[in-house]
Amino acid sequence: MTRFIFITGGVVSSLGKGLAAAALGALLQARGYKVRLRKLDPYINVDPGTMSPYQHGEVYVTDDGAETDLDLGHYERFTGVPSRKSDNITTGRIYQNVIARERRGDYLGATVQVIPHITDAIKEFCVSETEGHDFVLIEVGGTVGDIESLPFLEAIRQLGLELGRERALYVHVTLMPYIAAAGELKTKPTQHSVKELQSLGIQPDVILCRSDRPIPDGDRKKISLFCNVPIASVVPALDVRSIYEAPLSYHEAGLDEQILKTFGIQDAPLRALDRWTDVVRRVLAPEGEVKIAVVGKYTGLKDAYKSLAEALAHGGIANNVKVDLEWVESEIFEHDQDLVSAHLEGVHGILVPGGFGERGSEGKIRAVTFARERRVPYFGICFGMQMAVIEAARSLVGIKNASSTEFGPTPEPVVGLMTEWMQGNDIARRKANGDLGGTMRLGAYPAKLQEGSLVAEIYGATRIEERHRHRYEVNTAYRPELEKAGMRFCGMSPDDMLPEIIEIPAHPWFVGVQFHPELKSKPFEPHPLFASFIKAAVDQSRLV
C-alpha cells in the first residue's frame, strides 16, 4: 500500500520545504521503506527551462530529459533515488495538458473548469507511477495564501479525502520568528498560517516549526492547542550547521517517528543513519581546506549554482577537506585584466560552470588562460568546456577569431549550433530560430572515454552516461589542430560526432566536460570528477 505525505509551507517562502521533504525521505529509507519524491510548482511557466537563474535558481535536469525545479536535486542528493520527468509538474503544464484534451474533445463538450478538470489533472499526476513505493512525498511549492497555489491545495485536499486517513498525511512547514526586543519566539505566524490552511479544508497532521533556537515546550503546547494537533506533532526544525545534518536533527526531534505513528505504523525500526553521521563528521571536522574560484555569470544568486556548490562540497567530503568557494563575476575580468590575477592568485582550483549568452564569456576565457598558464587545476563544465576549447584555439593554435555561433556569426565557429543528433534510436532536430523551451540536448547521453586518459582513470571505466543541458557543441572540424597543440579529445559520443570531454595531458589537472556531472553527485557518493578535482586542488595547496 502506497502512502502519501503532502508537504506545504506557510508564513514566508524559502523555509526549506524541499530540504524537509528530502530529509524525511532519507529517514524513511533508513527504516527500510521505498520512497518517491515529487514537486508541485504553482508558476505558469511550463517548466523552469526558460526562466532566468536570478528568478528561479538552477534548472535541475533528470536522466529522461526533464528541466525541473532545483528541489528535485535535494531529493536525489538525500535519497539517491533518480528523479524523473513525472516528478515535477507546474500550473503551466497542467493547463497545457487540460487544454490539449479539451481541443481533442476528450471532455465531450463539457465546460472545462478548475474544479473538477484542473484538480483532477493534478491528482492524476500525484498518483501516477507510484506502484511499488511505500511512501510518496509531494511538496507543494509556494506559500499557503498565494492565489496561484489554490488549485494544488484543493487537489491534495480532495486526494486526502479519497485516499483516506490511513494513506494520506499533511505536513505544514512554518516559521517561528524570534523578536529580539521582546526576547521571545512568536507562535502567532504559525497559528495564522495553519488557520489559513484549515480554511481551505486541510488540517495538518504534523507542524514542522523552523526556528534558529530551541522551542520551549510552552510554545509547542500553545501551537498544539490553537492548531488542533497533538503536542508530539509540533516538531522543531532548528537551523543546522550543514544541510546534511537535517536527517539527524529531524530524527532527534521525532519527525519520522511521529509520521509513522500518525499512519499507525509501529514495527519500523531505524536500521542505520551511519552514513549521515559520517558525512556530517567530514563536513564539520575536515582535516584541511582548499579555495576554489567559481568564475560565472550568475554569482549574485548562489541558488543558480546549487548542485554545483553541493558537488564541490561532496568533493571535499571525499578528500576530508573543507571547500571554500570564492564566487567571481566573470564580467569584471573584461573591464580590467589586472583583476584576473587579483582574484585568482592563490586559489587552488578554478571552475567555469555552465551558462548561456555572450555576456561574461571573454572574462571566462581569461580565467581559462590564467589556469592553463599558471598550471592551476581547471574544471570547465558545459559552457566552461566550450570556453576552454576557444581559448586553446586562440592561444595554442593561433586562430585569433575563434568563437561560438552562440554569440553571432563568426568566421571561425569553434563552437556551433547542432541542428540534429541521435537520441536513442531517433534523430532529434532543432532550428536556430525555434522555441527555446525544451529544445536543447537534454538528459542522459552515453560517452566513450579514451583508454589511458586522465578521465578514464578517474571514472575507472571507458563507457559513461551523464546528463546534458545545452544547445551548442564543439566543432570537431577543429579537433586535429587542437590535438596537435596539446588538447586531447578524450571523451566522445558513441558515433564520434560530439565531443564530450577534453583534457590537457601536460597540465596537472585540466578537464572540460560538455555535460553536467554535478547533477549526479551525492554526499555519500561524490561524483568522481569532483573528487578528483578537489584532490588536485589539495595537491596544489601544498605548492602555493
Residues 15/17/19/24 CA torsion (nearest 10 deg): 130
DSSP three-state, residue 263: coil
Catalytic residue among 251, 348, 468, 516: 516
Cα–Cα distance between 140 and 90 in angstroms, integer? 10
Q: List the one residue out of 163, 178, 190, 537 whose CA is nearest residue 346.
A: 537
Q: Read off the amino acid at residue 363.
A: G
CB-based contact 419:432 (threshold 8 Å): yes
Q: Is 483 a catalytic residue?
A: no
Q: What's the sign of the alpha-carbon dihedral 296, 297, 302, 305?
A: negative
Q: Which residues, other chains included, contact 184 with Cβ-Cβ below 8 Å and sequence gap of 6+?
A: 178
Cα–Cα distance between 248 and 226 in angstroms, integer? 29
Q: Is 126 a catalytic residue?
A: no
Q: Is 518 a catalytic residue?
A: yes
Pairing state between β 3-9 and 168-175: parallel
Helix, strand and coil content of the chain, in percent to the nearest 5, comes to 40, 25, 35
Q: What's the sign of the alpha-carbon dihedral 340, 342, 344, 346?
A: positive
Task: Tell me the sheet residues that pair with 403.
Answer: 413
Residue with cell 537520441: 423
CB-based contact 530:312 (threshold 8 Å): yes
Catalytic residue among 76, 139, 473, 518: 518
Catalytic residue among 382, 391, 468, 470: 382
Cα–Cα distance between 416 and 412 in angstroms, integer? 10
The catalytic site residues sit at 382, 516, 518
